[in-house]
Chains A and B, each alone.
Chain A
Amino acid sequence: MKCSFAIALNTFKETIRDRVLSVIVVFALAMIVASLWLATISLEQQARMMKDFGLTAVTLFGLVVAVFAAGNLVRKEMEKRTVFFIFSKPVSAAQFIFGKFLGLALTVFLVVLGMGVFLFFVTWLVAGEAAGSVLLATLLIYVQVVVVMAVTVFFSTFASAILSSVLGVCIFIAGQLSHNVLSLTRLGDAEVLKVLSWLVFIAMPNLAAVDAKPSVVGEGSIAWGHTALWLGYLSAYMIVALLVAAWVFRRKEF
């Protein structure tokens, strides 16, 4: 465990000292500020528009940071041959993968939470509404992003950095839509489509199940029992993705 924490600390330093991250964060904050302009053109919907637009920005930029950093995470170590340094020490593949993931998860947590807190204050100052639900929705966005990050780390153990990141984005999109696709195909008669959509639903993480944005913008409310169950499922999904990543990585030679 000590090794994993050492690798996590190193990964945290690596990602937090990366200038690209600062640029992305500045961009994300600028997008949230831009929601002020959108709010001015929406009659009596100021707070709703700001929260809607702001949470979308938090999701998108959190996702960008997570998948592109995760795609590079393991690849970079192999391409720059720092794996020689790591694996000449008493470090296992599982400790390495878990440590890398943990370090990046901490960076992404700070980025996503920072954006969420900024959105909270902007909404409070401009629309006069201290929306605690924004912070809650931000935490659930973090859960979605971190699950996709785990799957991207798995891809990066055998695919290139770019391909891993693109696949990570695809998983995010599929995870948002799989439930809708399943519902739609249930309405039809095509059995093959029903089976296929069911398989996709099982294979993809159901990220939409923990999306609190609709409730924050006044479209329904959060069913806590249901959300807790899906959080358990997503945690298991994430752990399996990391275990498989460690298994694939263990078979590698350097």
Chain B
Amino acid sequence: MNEAASGLSALAVVDLHKEVRVGFRGRKLEILRGVDLNVDRGEVYGLLGPNGAGKTTTIKVALGLMRPSSGSVATGGLGRESIGYLPENPYFYDYLSGREFLHLAGRLFGLDRRQRCDRVEHLLDEVGLNDAADRHLRKYSKGMLQRIGIAQALVNEPELVLLDEPMTGLDPVGRVEVKRIIDRLREQGTTVVLNTHILADVGELCSRIGILCRGRLRWQGPVAEAAAASSDGLEGFFMEVVGREV
């Protein structure tokens, strides 16, 4: 039995392979080549890697949006009703207002009307979109969309939150707000997997990181250990790990 199945890990990925067929001839492309990683309960875990490393695919397989070619993903017994997800470059229904959109997310999680109303108002406040709650999403800026995206990922009070590039498109104020939200999640004991390119944020927010490159996990461990391993800090360590591969 792996750690996730036994309840120690919130996310355990074991020897995960993913192949897709591309092009007219259906050429095989191996995106994941045996990824092994584990995320402990209650930690903020940074999943790092250059573009095309397989970070988003790993998250999609964990959510069941893609099927693994082989290997396994266990979410510590958590079903999708206990997981929150913010996709990369999210696009949401632009004909809905922010409030309607969060209510839709709540309905999909099966929340009753009272729970939904309380939760939606709390989250609108949390992500600072109270004033824009009744505006259609088509009139939201990229930063506002990112924040409403984070709010929909938290509507079910998840135990595991998967955030794919949550800082993309945010101005400095928006980034500070998102960092505060992630901090609050950690304080509440929620497990957060943060898929990002911004190493400075990882240093501030994460307790452990995993570095993916070309479909394999190259390194996994505490952020402090990674930062201390190179004279250039976390950035230098990251470049050392992926540099020889890129």
B67, A3: Cβ atoms closer than 8 Å:
no
A14 cross-chain contacts in B, Cβ below 8 A: 93, 95
At the interface, yes or no: A89 with Cβ under 8 Å from chain B? yes
B65, A87: Cβ atoms closer than 8 Å:
yes
B81 cross-chain contacts in A, Cβ below 8 A: 89-90
- Tell me how many residues of A have a C-beta within 8 Å of chain B: 25
A residues 1-48 in Cβ contact with B at 8 Å: 2-3, 5-7, 9-10, 13-14, 17-18
Which of B84-92, B118-126, B188-196, B209-217 is the interface stretch? B84-92
A9 cross-chain contacts in B, Cβ below 8 A: 104, 107
- Which listed residue, B87, B95, B109, touches A89 by the CB 8 Å rule? B109
Binary per-residue interface labels of chain B (57-74) against chain A in the complex, 1 for a CB within 8 Å, 0 otherwise:
000100111110000000
Q: Which residue of A lies closest to B94 (CB)?
A: A80
At the interface, yes or no: B105 with Cβ under 8 Å from chain A? yes
A254 cross-chain contacts in B, Cβ below 8 A: 60, 65-66
At the interface, yes or no: B200 with Cβ under 8 Å from chain A? no
A90 to B156, CA, bound (A): 11
B87, A88: Cβ atoms closer than 8 Å:
yes
B93, A10: Cβ atoms closer than 8 Å:
yes
At the interface, yes or no: A85 with Cβ under 8 Å from chain B? yes
At the interface, yes or no: B152 with Cβ under 8 Å from chain A? yes
A253, B110: Cβ atoms closer than 8 Å:
no
A-B Cβ contacts below 8 A, count: 69
A89 to B65, CA, bound (A): 10
Q: Do A2 and B107 form a contact, CB below 8 Å, given A14-B93, A14-B95, A85-B152?
A: yes
B79, A6: Cβ atoms closer than 8 Å:
no
B80 cross-chain contacts in A, Cβ below 8 A: 88-90
A83 cross-chain contacts in B, Cβ below 8 A: 65
A84, B65: Cβ atoms closer than 8 Å:
yes
At the interface, yes or no: B40 with Cβ under 8 Å from chain A? no
B109, A85: Cβ atoms closer than 8 Å:
no
At the interface, yes or no: A202 with Cβ under 8 Å from chain B? no
Q: Which residue of B lies closest to A88 (CB)?
A: B85
Q: Do A82 and B109 form a contact, CB below 8 Å, given A87-B64, A89-B80?
A: no
- Which listed residue, B60, B66, B100, B108, touches A91 by the CB 8 Å rule? B108
A13, B60: Cβ atoms closer than 8 Å:
no
Q: Which residue of B lies closest to A79 (CB)?
A: B91
B156 cross-chain contacts in A, Cβ below 8 A: 89
At the interface, yes or no: A243 with Cβ under 8 Å from chain B? no
Interface centre among A10, A13, A88 (most CB of B within 10 A): A88
A1 to B87, CA, bound (A): 25
B31 nearest CB across to chain A (Å) = 11
B242 cross-chain contacts in A, Cβ below 8 A: none
B169 nearest CB across to chain A (Å) = 15
B95, A3: Cβ atoms closer than 8 Å:
no
At the interface, yes or no: B96 with Cβ under 8 Å from chain A? yes
- Which listed residue, A3, A13, A80, A253, touches B108 by the CB 8 Å rule? A3
A90, B91: Cβ atoms closer than 8 Å:
no
Q: Which residue of B lies closest to A18 (CB)?
A: B95
Q: Do A90 and B108 form a contact, CB below 8 Å, given A81-B91, A85-B90?
A: yes
At the interface, yes or no: A231 with Cβ under 8 Å from chain B? no
A209 to B118, CA, bound (A): 51
Residues of A within 8 A of B (CB): 2-3, 5-7, 9-10, 13-14, 17-18, 80-91, 253-254
| Additional A-B contacts beyond A87-B64, A91-B108 (10; CB < 8 A) | A14-B93, A17-B95, A81-B91, A82-B93, A84-B87, A85-B90, A85-B92, A88-B63, A89-B80, A253-B67
Top 10 nearest A-B pairs (CB, nearest first) are A6-B107, A88-B85, A89-B108, A84-B87, A90-B80, A253-B66, A254-B65, A90-B81, A17-B95, A80-B91
